[in-house]
Structure 1
Amino acid sequence: MARHVRHKNKRGQTTFQVPPPPPGYKGAHRAEAERVLPRRIAGVAVAVGIVSGAGAAAHAMTGTFSPVAGGADLGGVPDETVRTGKVDTVHAVDLGSETARIIRQEQLTALHTFNQASGIAQDGYAARKAAEEKAAQEARDAEEARKPPKQRQVEGWIREAIGVLAANGTAIDESSVDEIYTIIIKESNGNPNAVNTWDSNAARGTPSKGLMQCIDPTFQTYKLAGYDDIYAPVDNIIAGVRYTYARYGGFGNHPGLVGINAGTGYVGY
């Protein structure tokens, strides 16, 4: 077996004299600057390959460091040498800096690929969410369209009143629309101008009025400033809801709703 001859160049770097292979030889000579360094570079190549999918990982697993293939990868072998496969002298390569450059490039490539994949995933998620929200809104619109005009009108007043109440410190949201609507239908059948002339309140001279059938003293106590008309739908709802919260703590204890849930029927409040 031919021996590799090691010597120092003018800069003190180690080089090798590699004799040409004998005729018919299909193997590969192995030249190493240091025995441990190729193994370290191979380990780095494997790690980079795991992250980026680079083919270098598989090549590194062979356990050899070819002066032609390795030197070409690191920019240390002339193009003519790579083309012919003949190596007379392989000059030392700054493996540290070149390996760092390759690793940085692999990291940038992997990061770019990751960012692209993340962007596609985010775009897909946003598109699915938009489609779901659109479908949900279309379902709500279809359900709303099936309601009678009178119900849509009353619920519109309720939602407006809820917005005012929430802005003024009442813990309420649109989940209470159905409960308020039920009370209104039972109390006044959705008529803002309804007046009860036959119950005990009427006998005392304070008939119940409006959508939620408030008597004047109750309305004056629970109205909000600027919402002073007992016959105005939103004003009446505001006072009726605030009275319900003050007396019953909310709709859960409203006697009319409790009676409906118990199957005993609606009871005036």
Structure 2
Amino acid sequence: MARHRKPSGQQPIVYTVSAQAPGYVGSHRAEPDRTLPKRLSAFAVAFGVVTGAGAAAHAVTSGTFSPLAGGAEFGGVPDQNIRTGKVDTIHSIDLGSETARMIRHEQLTALQAFNQASGVAQDGYAVRQKAADEKAAKDAKDAEEARKPPKQREVEGWIREAIAILAANGTPIDENSVDEIWTIIQKESNGNPNAINTWDSNAARGTPSKGLMQCIDPTFQVYKLPGHNDIYNPVDNIIAGVRYTYARYGGFGNHPGLVGINNGTGYRGY
């Protein structure tokens, strides 16, 4: 109690000061018991998520939230406090389930988004790279074709047409054989579909070789395809010549003329 006097003739005024108000210490507010755990839990979550370690991380692994133990991981609290056991547990909370689950969920979500973005970028790059490679190959092929003489381009057009017909009728051949057929035609007839050999042994027997691939009439009749009956027709002649080569030599790998060129002994008729 404190007493203060008023001027004389008046009653003293008495002021009463409470030593402690309920729920407060001095002039500072004290947290009610039921509020403190919530605030500590929120603090633990925020602190642990932001730093990736510290108090929340300690709580996740130990099941008990200790700000000093968590702070020690950042060098903010002397390790001696930890070693001497002077760290008091303020409040026991379970961060091992909900907080860890939230962190894992956010990490997985971020990882999935990153992987998706990376996959889209990678796929886009692969598509662009493939298109660029195909264009470069086409440009190179077009440039090579442009350098060829007109006569060669014409003959190779006949060869490709014959190859398509042969493949459709069961001959295992594709455009990889264009150069081989072109070489044979060059050596046999110099690209002349009306060429006739009048001096070799076949001519002496009365069956001269004819056309681009220099087929004799009996051979042409055996190896032609139905509907391709003209020995002087470039495509028909190529069809019969290729089928004869496959039947006798098993393909161009054993063609005597090509084998001779590869061995350096020169071309030999087939």
Equivalences for residues 84-95 of structure 1 within 5 A: none
**1:66: how far off?**
7.3
Equivalences for residues 181-192 of structure 1 within 5 A: 181-192=182-193
Select the structure with the greater relative contact order (CA < 8 A; seq sep ≥ 6): 1
Aligned to 2:86: none
Aligned to 1:124: 125
Cα distance change on mapping 1:165 and 1:233 into 2, 3 Å: same
**1:109: how far off?**
2.5
Does the 8 Å CA contact 2:155/2:182 hold for their aligned counterparts? yes
Cα distance change on mapping 1:184 and 1:17 into 2, 3 Å: closer
Does the 8 Å CA contact 1:15/1:92 hold for their aligned counterparts? no
CA RMSD in angstroms comes to 3.5
Question: Partners of 1:259 and 1:93 in 2: how far apart?
Answer: 86
Pair 1:250-2:251 in alignment:
yes
**1:265: how far off?**
2.0
Aligned to 2:150: 149
**1:99: how far off?**
4.8
Pair 1:139-2:140 in alignment:
yes
Which residues of structure 1 form unaligned runs of 5+?
A: 1-6, 19-30, 33-37, 46-53, 68-88
**1:57: how far off?**
3.0
Question: Partners of 1:176 and 1:195 in 2: how far apart?
Answer: 24
Question: Partners of 2:231 and 2:211 in 1: how far apart?
Answer: 6
- Aligned to 2:195, the other structure's residue is in SS state coil
Task: Tell me the amino acid that sits aligned with residue 151 of structure 1.
Answer: Q
Which residues of structure 2 form unaligned runs of 5+?
A: 1-31, 60-64, 68-89
Question: Partners of 1:62 and 1:189 in 2: how far apart?
Answer: 85
- Aligned to 1:229, the other structure's residue is in SS state coil
If the length of structure 2 is used for normalisation, what is the TM-score? 0.66
Cα distance change on mapping 1:226 and 1:122 into 2, 3 Å: same
**1:260: how far off?**
1.9
If the length of structure 1 is used for normalisation, what is the TM-score? 0.66
Question: Partners of 1:245 and 1:95 in 2: how far apart?
Answer: 76
Residues 207-252 of structure 1 show CA distances to partners (whole Å, capped at 9, x for unaligned) of 2111001111111111112222211111111110110111111112
Aligned to 2:165: 164
**1:131: how far off?**
1.1
Cα distance change on mapping 1:55 and 1:257 into 2, 3 Å: farther
Question: Partners of 1:104 and 1:62 in 2: how far apart?
Answer: 16
Question: Partners of 2:169 and 2:38 in 1: how far apart?
Answer: 91
- Aligned to 1:261, the other structure's residue is in SS state helix
Equivalences for residues 15-94 of structure 1 within 5 A: 16=37, 57-58=52-53, 63=58, 65=65
Question: Partners of 1:129 and 1:55 in 2: how far apart?
Answer: 44
Question: Partners of 1:193 and 1:167 in 2: how far apart?
Answer: 26
Task: Tell me the amino acid that sits aligned with residue 176 of structure 2.
Answer: S
Cα distance change on mapping 1:94 and 1:229 into 2, 3 Å: same
**1:259: how far off?**
1.9
Aligned to 1:217: 218
**1:144: how far off?**
0.8
Identical-pair percentage: 62
Question: Partners of 1:17 and 1:97 in 2: how far apart?
Answer: 14
Aligned to 2:78: none
Aligned to 2:174: 173
Does the 8 Å CA contact 2:211/2:232 hold for their aligned counterparts? yes
- Aligned to 2:235, the other structure's residue is in SS state helix
Aligned to 1:199: 200
Q: How many residues align?
A: 209
- Aligned to 2:52, the other structure's residue is in SS state helix
- Which structure: larger Rg? 2
Task: Tell me the amino acid that sits aligned with residue 133 of structure 1.
Answer: E
**1:56: how far off?**
5.5
Residues 143-167 of structure 1 show CA distances to partners (whole Å, capped at 9, x for unaligned) of 1100101111111111221222222
Q: Which segment drifts farther, 130-139 or 236-245? A: 130-139
Aligned to 1:240: 241
Task: Tell me the amino acid that sits aligned with residue 145 of structure 1.
Answer: A
Does the 8 Å CA contact 1:163/1:173 hold for their aligned counterparts? yes
- Aligned to 2:155, the other structure's residue is in SS state helix
Cα distance change on mapping 1:146 and 1:61 into 2, 3 Å: farther
